[in-house]
Structure 1
Amino acid sequence: MNLYKSTQAGLVILFILQAVVLIGCAQYEELTNDPPEITTFTIPNEVEYGETVEFRARVFDPEDDPLRYTWEVTDGVLKGEAGPHVQWTAPELPPEEIVPPKVVTVYLYVRDGGEEDVHKMATITVFSKPYKIAQIFTGTYTLIAKQVQGDPVAETSTLRLTPTTFTREIQSNPEAEVQAPTQFITGTYRFIKPFDESSGTIHWFPTGSTSPDVSTYTWDGRLFVVFYPETTTSLIYEK
């Protein structure tokens, strides 16, 4: 009986010693575990509304432990399983199209099983292409030449553009003895795809009109040439 009790007590002590050793090893491993390091963090600087891009990261872990990745964004949609690569779709373009850019913040957290994770963050500018191009065109332009069906027309005119609106100040036949009243035309305008900084199509919507005046345009950084095919009218403005 005493031998049985001694054996049982010995097993209990052995179990306790093994548990202490295991706990000690785990604590030692935790204390000596070096955290991972995010060596590269590839995030685009800017994207268009609704565009899908890929985020990439490269992480080094001294112990080569399994890593857990957590991506977070302040707007837009992440797609796929969290890992060193993940896809993200920027927020959709609002219906009005010509809207200012917005900033989205991207966070990456990486953990290797230790108590703390390492993280990185970056920001992306999400832009509307129509707004970006409209900002380039914003300013005041002076008419230097006008032609209708190839014939020159005497006219003094100023065109003022904001990212969303236009104002035309027109003085017809400025050489006439009796001057006609200055005409003001205001409204909104919209770029029609395909378009870029140098050429494209614009729909002009005078105030009160739902039907646009359609024109093409070219721009070389100084001269803004607008052509209305319906009336075969070309206007050359200088900024």
Structure 2
Amino acid sequence: DPAQALADLDTVIAHDPGNCEYYVDRAALHRAAGRSQAAIKDYGTAIRLGPHLPEAYYNRAVLQQERGRLERARDDLERALAVDPGHLDARIAMVNLQVERGAFDAAEADARAGLALAPQEPALLCTLGLIRSERGSLAEADELLTRALDRDPELVEAWTNRAAVRFERGDVAAAVADLDRAVALSAAPVPRYNRGTALMRLKRWDEAARDFAHALDQPSLDRALRRDLRAELARCRRAMAG
């Protein structure tokens, strides 16, 4: 009963307004209900009362990133890591944020710092693999992504990223096999788009067309992705007609 929980926390805070952890708890309820601004306000109060709480900085950073406020998110993650350098979720979030900003040097440094503390963390191995592939170190990227998958065989991003690496290395069949795993795990359009692209390289036009058509049926597609999917589907249909 989240409404009753919220009412109880309001009562508790009214009686003891100086306890920072109550605001963290109430912020979690606001966040779960989609009240991001109220959650951010409560995390701010928690931080003011208890600047030693890394979770408050981390959770506020996640909300700031969801709202597109990347600099504010980065500031909060830096504070969380200053309080607790071993906060793995904050480290992972920082790495992903740096990748989103295109700051690959900082992202790689943060990923390696995280792996020094947790050498087998799949999310960090996956993102470092992505960074190394962006920098042309395809063999190293393949090895990092394989390690990530050994630790977490359900990590869709690792299957998708390793497929991209193997496609770039010319092993299209291996890329399709990886994307088969990604598609089995996720209904997201990108794995199907990528698999369709790989299938086109193998001239398996009908299978590629099915992937593109299926991806186009997904709701809330990015406009650029929708345009690309339509163009590739048209190419497949022309190839099948010819």
Q: TM-score, normalised by structure 2?
A: 0.22
Greater fraction helix: 2
Q: Which has the larger radius of gyration?
A: 1
Larger RCO: 1 or 2 (CA < 8 Å, sep 6+): 1
Higher strand residue share: 1
**Superposition TM-score, scaled by structure 1 size:** 0.22
